[in-house]
Amino acid sequence: MSALITFLSRLPRVGTVLRMHFYRRWNPLRLRLTGCTVGKHSNIINSIYLFREPNAQITLGDHVTITSGEGFNPICRNVHACLCARGNGIIEIGDHTGMSSPCIWATNHIKIGRHVLIGGDCMIMDNDAHNLDAVERRDPTLAREVKSAPITIEDEAFIGAHCIVLKGVTIGARSVIGSGSVVTRDIPADCVAAGNPCKVIRRREGGE
């Protein structure tokens, strides 16, 4: 009887497992078909939101892992991953980097290094999305210049869940960003930082 109950309890996961295997094969092909570059053995699990304008670039290195919704990471619930490169925007994700349901939106340049870990449901955007001038937002006849500046996340950094990384920021190698932080300024290498706005709390032991 217990074996039957165990079997029945696992049935709802069958569809999820089948989708996982499908998207592991479909997503790298989909990215390549839309002009993106995908390295060897990259693993993109489940459906993602993907948008790349003709002059934009999206590049994933080798052994990149991106999970997207469907309970693969409980922190993300059913939030799907998003890769969006508009205008001349560039998204670069280095080898052996992993992330869960990120929203990465580039109109300038977002460079994520090697062996970086990005926790569930983080947002990384190198632009303001909308003009900060209320008059220009209100009047559709006015030019809407949206400010942007490149973002760099260096090798082996660890960004906790639900963080927001805003334009013009560099996060140094091996630094740790606490969950829920809003990063508005550069964080040096080998630090632990957290808060809104994110500030250095201490130097990380064992840093180079």
Q: Which tokens hold the place of 71?
A: 């309970």
Q: Which tokens hold the place of 201?
A: 């709390």
First to last CA, the chain: 57
Q: Is 72 helix (H, G, I), strand (E, B) or coil?
A: coil
Backbone angles phi, psi at 17, to 5 degrees: -65, -40
Q: Is 130 a catalytic residue?
A: yes
- State the pairing for strand pair 65-67/98-100: parallel
Closest CA to 179 of 158, 208, 200, 150: 158
| 6 CB-near residues (< 8 Å, 6+ apart) | none
Catalytic residue among 63, 80, 130, 162: 130
**What is the rounded CA–CA span in Å between residue 115 and residue 69?**
22
**What is the rounded CA–CA span in Å between residue 192 and residue 25?**
37
Q: Which tokens hold the place of 136?
A: 């220009």
Active site residue ranges: 130
